[in-house]
Each structure stands twice: as structure tokens, then as C-alpha cells.
Amino acid sequence: MMNAKRANAFLWIGNVCLIIGIVAFAFQFLIFPEARTLDVAPPISLPPLVQAQDLIDTTALAKLANPLLPPKQGPEDPKAAQGPIRLIGTDSIVGDPKSHVAYLEILLRRLNVNAYVGEPVRDESTGLEVPELKDHLLKSVTPKTATFTYPGGEKVLQIEEITASAAPTGPGPLVMPGVAAGTPWDPAKFTTKKNPARSNEVQEAWDIDKREAEWAAANVDTILQGVSLEPYAGGGLKINALPDGSFAAERGFRTGDVIRAVNSQPVDSMAKLTDVMKGLSRNATTLTVQVDRSGRIYTLSYTVPRTPGR
């Protein structure tokens, strides 16, 4: 009996200790958690965050050339300031000195620019002054020259004139049967005449004697002798000199005409004109030449009439 009472007393004591422990735990960790103290390791010292701009030098990148774009041509490129310069044409309004314009080509860069009186010569694609003509101002133009002023004086550019009689050599013209090369042209020997029925304000039509057509094919050098041509700024070849009484003058051409196309093929150089003329068929019976005459397109049409039975 005594042992049972002791055991019961021990159980009660144990229960009381357990309750006290539970209450202490609740107060320490649940009800007042800020009162506890823990041994926490000191925080790890981390370096300040590295900013993106500290890793990338954007200024240096901006100075790098884009490999997908052509090399930049400008004042910062010393190679861009090397000539030569070619005058390819001029334009002006009579009585208005400020209207003078010079058309130029920077040969090494294949760049075409326009020069206006009293204005810096600029590349229209970039708006920058052309370094080859820095501090040069257009003063005036003539049909064949352009005068520029610069701090040290004046410079005159001359149009590179191409004389038709000095055309590149190559295979000779097609010689028609019975016609000798070098035979002088005598209009009295041919029946060529202007056709008024087909001529109008935009076209001049000619009926060409077949014998004259054969003579012309055999004597291209004679036809071009004394005729002076030069590249025109707007395209084509401009006739600067045309002897009176010459074959070209008597067959409708005038000084100042700009030859634009032959048989619908554009021409802008003597080489191109020569190629087109050589490409004409031996049996061709028509030839058309488009010229720019005082700002209007004018057609010179030449036809060899068919003879009966042919």
C-alpha cells in the first residue's frame, strides 16, 4: 500500500515539472519570442554591387566602326580629304549670278556633289562639308569652267572635254558594198529629205537615201570630225561644237543638244555611244536619236524607205 502512494506522489511531481516546463517554453519561444537570445554568426561582408556601366565602356564602343557599314567618309577620316576633283557640268540663269551651279565628282570616292555660289560644298547625303573643297566657295561658272575662291586665292576647274574624233579605237565601222571609207560627203549626190508629214514640234523625221545610209556606216569618223562632245551633268552627251555644213548639222542636230539615247539605249559617254553604234544591225532601216533641246525631249528619226519588191 505504501509503495502505491509513493508511486502516485512521484507521478504528480513529474506532472507538475512537465507543466512548469511547458509554460516556461511557451513564454520563452511563443509568447515573447523577442526576449530570446541566439548566438548568430556575424553577417558576411559582401562587396558593393557592380553596376553594368562599370563593366562596359560605352564610350569606347561608340567609337568602334560598324563592320556591316562602309567606312565613314568625313572630316575625321584623313584619307577622305584626297582629290582629285572633276568638273562634269555647270548651269546658270542668264543675268542671275547667284543661280550659278557647278556639278562635281570626287573621283576616289565616286561621290557627286553640287556647288552653289557663296556656299560651302556639302555632301547632301550627310550634310557635311566636302573635305576636298574645305573653305572653297563657288564664285562663278561658264559653260566649261567653274571658278572657286579660297583663303589663298582662286582656283578654276575645267570640264574634261571629249572630242568625238578622238574616240577609242576599235573594230572599224561596217562597210557597205560599193561604198569606200574616206569618201567626202556630198549631199547633192543623195535624195535624202525631211518628211513633213511625220515631223512635228517634238519630232523631226527624215527619209534617208539608202546610198547615204551606206556612206554614213562607212564614214563614221568623217561624220564625227570636228564635233565636240562632253558628258552632261544630268546624263547624256552635250554637243559643244558642230561645224556648219557638216553631216550632223545638215541632218537635224544643233549645238547645245544633249544626246540622251540612240534607239532607246541611254548614252552618257563616248564609249557607250560607240558601243551602241557598233551594235546597230547591218540591215537596220530606222534610227532614232533622243536629244534634250532647251529642256525638252526632241526625237530625230531616220528611216530608209523600202524599195518596191524588197
Length of the chain (residues): 310
DSSP 269: S
Strand partners, 205: 301
CB of 273 closer than 8 Å to CB of 287: no
Picking from 229, 257, 227, 260, the residue whose alpha carbon sits closest to that of residue 242 is: 227
Picking from 275, 267, 278, 279, the residue whose alpha carbon sits closest to that of residue 237 is: 267
C-alpha cell at 36: 530570446
Task: Print pLDDT tens along the chain (310 aa).
Answer: 557 777 777 777 777 777 877 777 766 666 655 555 555 566 666 556 555 455 555 566 565 666 555 555 444 443 444 557 888 888 877 778 888 888 888 877 778 888 899 999 988 888 889 888 888 999 998 888 889 998 888 888 887 644 443 334 444 433 444 455 667 878 888 889 999 999 998 899 999 888 888 887 777 777 777 788 888 887 888 888 888 888 888 989 999 999 998 888 888 877 777 677 766 655 567 888 999 998 889 999 988 886 654 4
Q: What is the pTM of this model?
A: 0.45
CATH architecture assignment, domain 163-303: Roll (2.30)
**What b/e string do you get for 214-247 counting C-beta neighbours within 10 Å, with b at 16 or more?**
bbbbbbbebbbebbbbbbbbeebbbbbebeeebb
Which sequence spans correspond to the domains of the chain?
78-158, 163-303
* N-term to C-term CA, the chain: 158
